[in-house]
Every structure is written in C-alpha cells, then in structure tokens.
A and B are shown apart, each in its own frame.
Chain A
Amino acid sequence: MVEVAVRGLTKAFGRVTAVRGISFTAPAGKVTGFLGPNGSGKTTTLRVVLGLIRPDAGAALIGGVPYGRLARPRRTVGALLEASGFHPGRRARDHLLVLADAAGIPGTRVDEVLGQVGLAAAADRRVREFSLGMRQRLGLAGALLGDPQVLLLDEPANGLDRQPRAQRDRPDGRPRGDRQRRTGALRRGARRHRRDRRRAGVGLPQADRHRGVIAMTVDRPPYGLPSLPILEFRQGGLPCCP
C-alpha cells in the first residue's frame, strides 16, 4: 500500500505565501480530507504532490518517491483537479484516449471508466455540450483510468449537485446576511447532511475503498465518510494535525 507524505512544504507565489511549513502523512487505507477556507493552500499542496508546482522548500513523496520519479504515474496516482480542463471540440472518449495513449493504458479501459462514472451514453458527444457535472464526471473518469492506488481529488463534489441555497448569493446578486444564512442553514440542515453524504459518495464509489489513499479537498467536513482524518488548513499558516 502506498502512502502520501509531505514534509516541511513551503510555497510562495510572489509575496503571498500559499503554504508554510506543512507536514503530514495521508496514511494508506484511509480517506484523508483537506479542510480549510479558500486560499489556505489545499489546492497548492495537491499540485505540489503531483509535481505541477515546484515547492520553495520541503518535499512531497508518494510511496517514498516524488511524482516525477514514478515509473507509471497514472497507474499509481489518479487526480481530479479543479483547473484541469478539456478541449471543447473533443469528444469525451477521445479525451480519455489521449490520456490512455500517453500512459500506455489500453483503449478498452476508456469505455470501462466511462461506464463507471455514468457517461457511457455521452461518450461520443463533444465536451462543449457537457454540463458542469458531466465535466466533473469526465475528470473523475480520467483519474480512474489507470486504476490507481492513490486518488487525489480537488473539490470532487463540485457541480455534482446544487449548492445549498443558504450558501449562494441572493438572486439580485447581493450576498445573504449572516442571520439569513444561519437560519437558512438551520432549516436545511437535515437535507444538507443527506445531500453532502450523497455528493461525497459520487467521488468515492464503494469499489474504490481498496485504494491506498484518497485525499480530497473539501470546503466543509464531508458527513458520512467513515474514519476520516481531517487535515485542517489555515490561511497561509500551519495545519493543525489530526
């Protein structure tokens, strides 16, 4: 089993320190959630782990090896990242075939993952016709393509369901007042719990429990996930350890 270890990670963009001295281990056989407000470094940390961002200090290792040294990266780590995208004119199956080609994964696997995320019927449609939720599913299909041991998911529930009304702005564009937000949240509490459990479940099908590590960034604790170690990120600061 493979674990993800981050040691003394620091990264600044210009004068903004996105991540300062973070260390943690996402243990094998567990789901690890990254919890924290916007700008607290969750996404930056994931991108460093994936070798997309070079840290100023520290290191991130997957099973003891940096991402760039993995022999077969897509078969070891599957990632769903917010900023990753699709060519709007490319069909869903072709998008996955591009990834499969580069990773040396047989093309038959593409139809398997399309079925797994519920996009089999849309496989030959161009991505420009896809809704946000369908794009999210296609991204997840890409993450599952190599049947990886580690899944890294950045805001996996995005677009998969409606945001709770209490968290959205009012129809006229002004933000909701705090009191309104609170009472709205209270009233919808029970429904929201059910919905969050369901939404988190889309990112974590039962079949995926065998994977070594699933790390995901979430904007609130995902209810209904068993034994979830939470790494809490604070704005530009140290995470408090689980």
Chain B
Amino acid sequence: MLPLIRSEWRKLSTVRGAWLLLAAGPLLVVAGITGLVQSGGNVHDPATASKALAHVALAALFTLIFGIFAVAGEYRHGTITDTFLSSPDRGRVVTAKLAVYAAVGAVAGLISSVVAVAVTAAWWAAKGGIFHLWAADSWRTLAGGVAVNIAFAAIGVGIGALVRNLAVAIAAALAWIALIEGIAGQLVGSGLARWLPFSTSEAAGRAGLTGVSRLLPQWGGGLVLAGYAVAFAVAAMVTTLRRDVT
C-alpha cells in the first residue's frame, strides 16, 4: 500500500493544475466572508459569525473537482494504463487514491479554516463587533467544514471513477450542485430534500442552525454525508474492478 500512496502523492506533486485548483478554496472563503459583511451582515449577531465561518464548507466545491481529477484525469491522459500495469490490483489503486485525496482535502479544509478565522476576525474588528473564536459554534462550524472538504474529495474520486470522462464528470457534479439538487428537492418535498448530498453538506458545515428546518441537524448531516462518501467509494471500487481499460 505504501508504494502506491507514494506514487499517488508524486503524481499530485509533479503537476501544477491540482494546486491552482486547491488555492481557489481559500480565495472563495475570503470573497464570501467579505461579501457577507459588505452586504450588511450584522457583526453583533453571533449567528453571522457562524455564517461567515460556514464558507469553509462551500470551499469544498474545489476539493470535489480535485477528487474528480484523481481518476478521470488519469483516463483523460491515458496514464491509467500504466497505473494498472504497476498495480494490477485495482482495489488497492482506488484505496490509495482515496487515502491521498482525503488527506489533501483535509489539509485544504484546514487552510480554508485558518483563512476564514483570520478574515472574520479582521472584519469583525473593523466593524466594531466582537468575534468569539472560542465559542462552541465557531469550532463546530470549522470542524464540520473540514469534514465536508474531506467527504467531497472522496466523493469526487468516486464520481471520477464512475464517469471517467473528465469534462462530463465535472459538468455533472457542478450541475447537480447548482441546479439538479434544487429541482429534485422540490419534486420530493423538503422532508426528503434534507437528505440529498449538497443539503447534508450545508447542514454538516454549519453549527447553531436552530430554526432552519429545511436542513438536518449538524451531526445528522455529517453522518449522512459520510454515508454518501462511503457509497461513492464503494461504487468506484466495484466499477473499477470490472471495467476493461482499452
């Protein structure tokens, strides 16, 4: 297992695209929190601080695409053949990818968290509000945000292994988040819509959302999201084992 993990890490560290993609996460956090404050967010309301820190979970959009590249990118460039020649045990390949991409997703989430705390503290100071970093909600929001980053990286690996066509996989994932889940949610009703993947990530990525009945509680959202990540990982494993590589 260790040689494959080392190989996956070298694949990542020897190209530039993946890092540019991950750098976009913290930028989204900076822009999102700034926008929240500039559009009249009340810095004296503790719920606004929680809302600001919840941008960490939104940055997981980029770890999702990052994860899609793990497998679909290899099919795109034809390097998957060499990968499977090195390790005919494809299950180990998928496992190594899940491990490396989840770890990088965690680091990306942590960096986004640090950036979110810094930007929130700066804006709250500038606007005369008091930012309680040590409040339980702050920590639970950040922890949830990091978890969403990890789960989305793993889900991305799964989507890439299932779809294999890089452009189609990314388009499908973005379309789901921007459009399809919303429509599906209206079709099934809000009782079931709370259980759809992006809704669970919203729930998991923000603490103290009492009164927002359209979402599951944070722990529930986190559990269901983890379930989605496992389901995608298993589906990736099963299809990758059976398919021909031509």
Q: Are A47 and B4 in contact (CB under 8 A)?
A: no
A50: Cβ under 8 A from any B Cβ: yes
B186: Cβ under 8 A from any A Cβ: no
Q: Are A85 and B78 in contact (CB under 8 A)?
A: yes
- For B93, the closest partner residue in chain A by CB is A102
Q: Are A68 and B78 in contact (CB under 8 A)?
A: no
A83: Cβ under 8 A from any B Cβ: yes
- For A146, the closest partner residue in chain B by CB is B86
Q: Are A81 and B81 in contact (CB under 8 A)?
A: yes
A79: Cβ under 8 A from any B Cβ: yes
Query: A164-218: which have CB < 8 Å to B?
Result: none
Q: Give Cα A64–Cα B11 distance, bound, in whole angstroms.
A: 33
- How many A-B pairs have beta carbons closer than 8 Å: the answer is 85
Contacts A85-B77, A101-B6 known; A50 to B85 CB distance under 8 Å?
yes
Q: Are A104 and B14 in contact (CB under 8 A)?
A: no
For the complex formed, measure the closest distance between the CB of A76 and the CB atoms of chain B, giving whole angstroms: 11
Q: Are B17 and A103 in contact (CB under 8 A)?
A: no
Q: Give Cα A69–Cα B246 distance, bound, in whole angstroms.
A: 20
- For A94, the closest partner residue in chain B by CB is B14
Q: Are B246 and A101 in contact (CB under 8 A)?
A: no
B212: Cβ under 8 A from any A Cβ: no
Contacts A98-B11, A101-B7 known; A88 to B77 CB distance under 8 Å?
yes
For the complex formed, measure the closest distance between the CB of B82 and the CB atoms of chain A, giving whole angstroms: 6
A220: Cβ under 8 A from any B Cβ: no
Sorting the interface of chain A by its residue count into under 10, 10 to 19, 20 to 34 or 35 or more gives: 20 to 34
Collect the chain A residues with CB atoms within 8 Å of residue B40's CB: none
Contacts A89-B17, A102-B87 known; A97 to B10 CB distance under 8 Å?
yes
Collect the chain A residues with CB atoms within 8 Å of residue B89's CB: 68
Q: Are B82 and A142 in contact (CB under 8 A)?
A: yes
A91: Cβ under 8 A from any B Cβ: yes
A15: Cβ under 8 A from any B Cβ: no
Q: Are B88 and A102 in contact (CB under 8 A)?
A: no
Which of A23-31, A51-59, A112-120 participates in binding chain B?
Answer: A51-59
A-B contact pairs, 23 of them (CB 8 A): A13-B246, A52-B84, A52-B244, A53-B245, A54-B244, A67-B88, A74-B86, A81-B81, A83-B81, A84-B81, A85-B78, A86-B79, A87-B79, A89-B16, A91-B14, A98-B10, A98-B11, A98-B82, A99-B82, A101-B3, A101-B7, A102-B86, A102-B87
Other than the given A84-B78, A103-B86, 17 more pairs (CB < 8 A) read A47-B244, A51-B84, A52-B84, A54-B244, A84-B79, A85-B81, A86-B78, A87-B15, A87-B79, A89-B16, A90-B11, A91-B14, A98-B10, A98-B14, A102-B4, A102-B6, A102-B86
Residues of A within 8 A of B (CB): 13, 47, 50-54, 67-68, 70, 73-74, 77, 79, 81, 83-91, 94, 97-99, 101-104, 142
**What 8 A-B pairs come out closest when comparing CB atoms?**
A85-B78, A102-B86, A102-B7, A101-B7, A84-B81, A94-B14, A68-B88, A52-B245
Residues of B within 8 A of A (CB): 3-4, 6-7, 10-11, 14-17, 73, 77-79, 81-89, 242, 244-246
